[in-house]
Amino acid sequence: PIPSDAIPLLQQASDVNKYWQHTNGKPVNWIYANDRLTVKPKTGAIITKQGFCDMQLHLEWRAPVASERRKGAPKHANSGIKIQERYEVQILDTYNGSVYVNGQAGAMYKQAAPMVDALSPSGEWNIYDIIFRAPKFDNTGGLTKAAYITVLHNGVLVQDNFEIEGTTMHKGKAKYFNAHGCKPILLQDHNGEISFRNIWVRAL
C-alpha cells in the first residue's frame, strides 16, 4: 500500500486522465492495459496536472522484451523522468548492452552516472525512489540554492544527494536558465515502449 499522505499518480486506469495530460493540455493518448501505462511513440510526453517542488517520488518502469517491440523500434527503449519538466533522471534499457555512462538508467542525464548499474532485465520491473529538493531563486531570478537529488534504483543508492547543475541538456553545459516555482513531473516519449505503474508522490 502507498503512504496515506501520497498522491496516487498512477494506481488505476482512472488516474491517467485525473492526474496526467500531454504537454499541450490534451488527454493522455498513451495505452493503459494490464495495470500499466505504456508510451505510445510519437504522441509526445505527458506531465502531471499538478506542479511539485520538494518531493519523494516512487515510480516503477518496465522496458519491452524484443518480441514486444514494434518493427523498427529502437533496441534500447528510452524514456526519462523530467522532474519540474527540466531535470532528467534517465530511463533506458541497456540490459546486455551499453551506452555512455551518464546516459544509462539511473543517471542524471549528462550530469552524473549512477554509482552502480542496478538495471533489471528487459521485461522485468525497475523501481525508482527519488528524493528531490527543488532549486531556490531570489526575487531577481538569481539562483540561491541548486536542486539536489537522491535516487534509489531497485533499492540501491545510485545518486547520493547530487547537486543538479541545471536544466538537463543533450549537448552543452547545463545551467539554470530561469527562475521557476513548482512544476509538473514529465514522462518522456522517446520513441520506446516503456511502461509505468505504481507512481506516487509525497510533497515534502
Q: Which residues are at the interface with Mg ion (CB under 5 A)?
A: 78, 80, 190
Angle 19-37-127 (CA atoms, 0-180°, nearest 5)? 95
Cell numbers 498513451: residue: 30
Q: From the CB of residue 46, how many other CB atoms can be counted at a distance below 10 Å?
A: 25
The distance of closest approach from Cβ of residue 65 to Mg ion in the complex, given in angstroms and rounded to an integer, is 19
27, HSE (Cβ side, Cα atoms, 13 Å): 7
Q: Which is nearer to Mg ion, 11 or 191 (CB)?
A: 191
Please state the φ and ψ torsions of residue 29, each to the nearest 5 degrees.
Answer: -105, 10
Rounded to a whole number of angstroms, the minimum distance from the CB of residue 147 to Mg ion is 18
Nearest residue to Mg ion, scored by beta-carbon proximity:
80
Q: Which is nearer to Mg ion, 80 or 184 (CB)?
A: 80
- Give how far Cα 192 sits from Cα of 41, 66, 69, 79, 163, Å: 6, 12, 8, 7, 29
Q: How far is the CB of 203 from Mg ion (least distance, A)?
A: 25
Residue 7 or 187 having the CB closest to Mg ion? 187
Q: Other CB atoms closer than 10 Å to residue 149's CB: what's the count?
A: 20
Which is nearer to Mg ion, 81 or 147 (by Cβ)? Answer: 81
In the complex, what is the shortest distance from the CB of residue 130 to Mg ion, in angstroms, rounded to a whole number? 15
